Structure 1
Amino acid sequence: MSSNDEKIIVEVTREDLENLLCKELDSNIKVENFTSKSLTKPGDNYGSTILAVEVFYHKDGTTETHKLPIVAKLVPESLFLRQLFDIETTFNKEVRAYTFVAPEFYKLQKEKMFSENEILNVFSKYFGSRSNKQDDINMKADESAVLLMENLKFSGYEIRERRKGLNLKHMEFSIMKLAHFHALAVALKLLKPQVFKEKILKTCEGFEIGKSHDEREIEKSISNTLQFVKDVPECVPYIERIGNALHTDIKMRKEKTEPPPREPFATIVHNDFWVNNMMFKYDKSVNEIDDDKDHEAPTAMKFVDFQVTIYESPVRDLIFFLFTSSEDGLIEKHFDDLIKLYHKTFVEILTKLDCDTQPFSYQHFQEEMNAVLPSEFPHILYLLNPICADSEGMEEQSNVTRDSMFKKRGGDVYKKRVSCFVQKFINNGWL
């Protein structure tokens, strides 16, 4: 076994659960026992090990047993994946999203007299965390890291089918929540610059995805990606442009010459905002007979997986979401309307937060897209292959290697999305 294929066993223990729950919930909690099982299917998650845990506990001095369903997020078992996702850094980023960003977002909205129905509520309930054996968030995360959150499935939230994509109702709902999320960080930047620096920017600290890759591996990933795209007839005339975009991206990252985030739009960006990283809730009383959620409009949603947040342009999240997560044909019909919906919501939230919206006009937003989106092209293209992958035949996370990670997987779903994506970028002058 090569060093990069090295595996470790990651697990959560009774002592972990008791210590963290005592610290976050109640110092009198005594964990009696617990059960755990994998929460995700092969291919659904690479950057962490996610377990569904049921904790059985009582409070000191009582005998009544309580059950608490939670999610435990641990580091990947594979050394390759831990290095690929820079887990030493990215694990702490997610912890800060729950302990820094979520409370500041809530506080700002309460100060600005948002009603409870108006307040953005896209973070799962947090039940505690430990980043390393020293229990020090300012030190790098290690193999003992654990993050505890509510199990959203027990709260009525559901994940949608990634290969099918989201219909218009879900896309519109998600885009409005995303615009609200971005606007809150921009408002903190304008209204509370010190809080923004200490909390939001700290959550967006730098990391390096793929830092274990050498030159040969990078060239292989580019070559493989171009070969996948060549199987999409509509993209063949643009192969040279696509190759140039991928090589330019690698060169800029290697030489660290990426342009700084553009102001004033720069904000906290989720950076992995697609179907698998969101869950929806529905009003059961609206349609009790039809279980097909595609026919229902969601009433609430949660964002998950904040490991790779960055300080960047919000259009990166928006466009990444549109091209990775919408059902067939939706982008062709509704692209401009969805862009306008995002901008309208973004400005409305800033207005309600008492921010000057003049610098955020729709014209300025279009200029932002034209300036930023050429450099977002590689990010979307690389991720479309695993996002479109069929779960059949996917490896368990512990068995993932660099070769299996970058195999061709998406089939017809991949071809349709890449075709739509490339042609839209060409038509808008972004490629």
Structure 2
Amino acid sequence: MSVPEIVDLKSVVDPHLNGGELQAYTARYLTKPGDNYGSCMLAVAARIKQPNALIEELPLIAKLPPVTNELFWQIFQPERTCITENKMYEIVVPEIHRLQLDAGLSKDKLFTALPKYYGSRISLDPNATKVDRDAVLVQENLQVSGYRAGNRHQMFDFVHAKLVLECMAQYHALPIALRIRKPKVFAEKIRPHFNRFNMNTSMGDQMKEDMRKEIREDLELVTNNNDDEIGDILEKFQQYDAWLEQPEAADGLYTSLVHCDLWINNIMFKYDDQNQPTTLKFVDFQIAQYESFVHDIIFFLFSSVDANVLEDNFENLLEAYYDAFIHNLKEVQVPTDDYSYEGFVNEVRRVGPIEISHPLFMTKVILADNSTLPEDFKDMDMSILSKNRGLKTITKRMSDILRVAKKFKLI
């Protein structure tokens, strides 16, 4: 596979090198087809000339729109998604750090759940307002920094799940705190970039019809052709589609910057000597939007956590999230009297039935058999769904999701 060229990478990264200059670079694909859909990820080996004239190697990641795949360019709408993700790094993280410092936190306590940022652009034209094929976002290479990606064929255990939820709670709490403490900054600099993202609007009628047919056929296998059960579940899919089409969410107790795609492949961990996870990074904020943060909780738990772990610890994991959420609000001096645990659980019960169809649908993407995936990114399409119909691991996972969701009254 030929690797896309990054034109004038120097102008993007040089302002973030503390006086250093990019001299040259080489690039290769970072991910394989099936591990990433909405972008093109390159591992970049950059040669940097430091102010003292020494040449040093700097491992980076360059994230491009899906330049090699016309279908995914259409579906993932880079004209919106690239700008949203760039703003997470350009504006949201610096404003969160200012908020934390203003509240008296030391630098070692600052929010660190995103990779280090090395610049971005939406076009070679500095005056452009529309994303084109020269858009790029540059970050640290987390693998070289000691972080490991998960395996989409192996769901998380309790330790990983609890750590993710605690970090997720901080990611959700701090934008809420920013909205409360600095409403003008939030309203003018942040909120406009995180509008609702509806992938359905970019799919043709035939594609949507094919996907509905696939979902019904999957549910027939999972439920042993139980028409009543299939009807109830399909109603949840309709609720999710209706949610995507709703007006923008209003400010509320539980409304924050929601990632909307937090599953195994978008979380990377660093481990201690006992191979226990200690810290993590969230990546891929392309479809982040302003909504109830419970969408992230439910999608993560039902897309990425071992079913037995989830069934045995659902309430414990919710409590872990809630405790971390309250702690992070208090840390930046935001009152928490309105955030009762009962109110939080009620929000889970409200949003859970809307969100549950999302991990059900994604199961076929997450657990797709590697042998059904093409070798080249340009050959990826939605046939990945039909190619994996009836796969035992997928059918079992969907069955597990339905069982646990019913147990906790999300269906």
Given that residues 86 and 211 in structure 1 are in contact (C-alpha distance below 8 angstroms), is that contact kept between their aligned partners in structure 2?
no
Q: TM-score, normalised by structure 1?
A: 0.88
C-alpha offsets along residues 12-51 of structure 1, whole Å, 9 cap, x if unaligned? 14xx2221122322565141x3211110022000000000
Aligned equivalent of 1:114, options 90, 96, 105: 105
Which whole-Å CA distance do the structure 2 matches of 1:314 and 1:252 have between them? 14
Tell me which of 125, 147, 158 is aligned to 1:134: 125
SS in 2 for 1:154: coil
Q: CA contact under 8 A between 1:120 and 1:177: conserved in structure 2? A: no
- In 1, Cα distance between the equivalents of 2:252 and 2:224? 35
Local SS of the residue matching 2:149: coil
Q: Structure 2: 5+ residue runs without aligned partners?
A: none
Give the match for residue 290 of structure 1.
none
Asked if 2 retains the 8 angstrom alpha-carbon contact of 1:386 and 1:410, the reply is no
Q: Matched residue pairs, number? A: 408
Separation in 2 of the partners of 1:57 and 1:90? 30
Cα displacement (A) at 1:180: 0.9
Corresponding residue for 1:84? 75
1:20-39 aligned at under 5 Å gives the runs 20-26=12-18, 29-31=21-23, 33-39=24-30
Question: 1:410: how far off?
Answer: 7.8
* Match of residue 261 from structure 2: 272
Query: Do the aligned partners of 2:326 and 2:336 also contact (CA within 8 Å) in 1?
Result: yes
Structure 2 match to 1:425: 405
Q: Distance in 2 between matches of 1:162 and 1:20?
A: 32
Match of residue 10 from structure 2: 18
Output one character per residue of 1:71-97: Cα deviation in whole Å (capped at 9) or x when no partner.
Answer: 011111111101100111101111111
**Structure 2 CA distance for aligned equivalents of residues 262 and 234 of structure 1:** 43
Q: What one-letter code is carried by the residue in structure 2 that aligns with 1:225?
A: I
| Separation in structure 1 between the aligned mates of residue 94 and residue 225 of structure 2, nearest angstrom | 45
Find the residue that maps to 2:62 and give its secondary structure.
Answer: strand
Q: Give the aligned partner of residue 339 of structure 1.
A: 318
Indicate if the aligned counterparts of 1:55 and 1:68 stay in contact, CA closer than 8 A.
Answer: yes
CA distance in 2, matches of 1:22, 1:83: 31
Find out whether 1:399 has 2:379 as its counterpart: yes
State the Cα distance separating 1:177 from its structure 2 match: 0.4
Alpha carbons 1:100, 1:203 under 8 Å: kept: no
The aligned residue for residue 361 of structure 2 is 382
- Deviation per residue, 1:44-80 (Å, 9 max, x gap): 0000000001012324783x32111100111111111
DSSP-derived class of the 1:300 partner: strand
Two-structure CA RMSD over aligned residues (Å): 2.4
Alignment of 1:6-405 (within 5 A): 10-13=4-7, 16-26=8-18, 29-31=21-23, 33-59=24-50, 62=53, 64-76=54-66, 77-136=68-127, 139-233=129-223, 236=226, 238-250=229-241, 253=244, 256-257=245-246, 260-261=249-250, 263-283=252-272, 286-287=273-274, 296-395=275-374, 396-404=376-384
1:241–1:207 distance in 2 versus 1, CA, 3 Å: same
Q: Is the 8 A contact 1:389 1:409 kept in 2?
A: no
3-state SS of 1:90 partner: helix
Gap regions ≥5 residues in structure 1: 1-7, 288-295
Identity of aligned residues (%): 31
Change (3 A) 1:28 1:118: closer
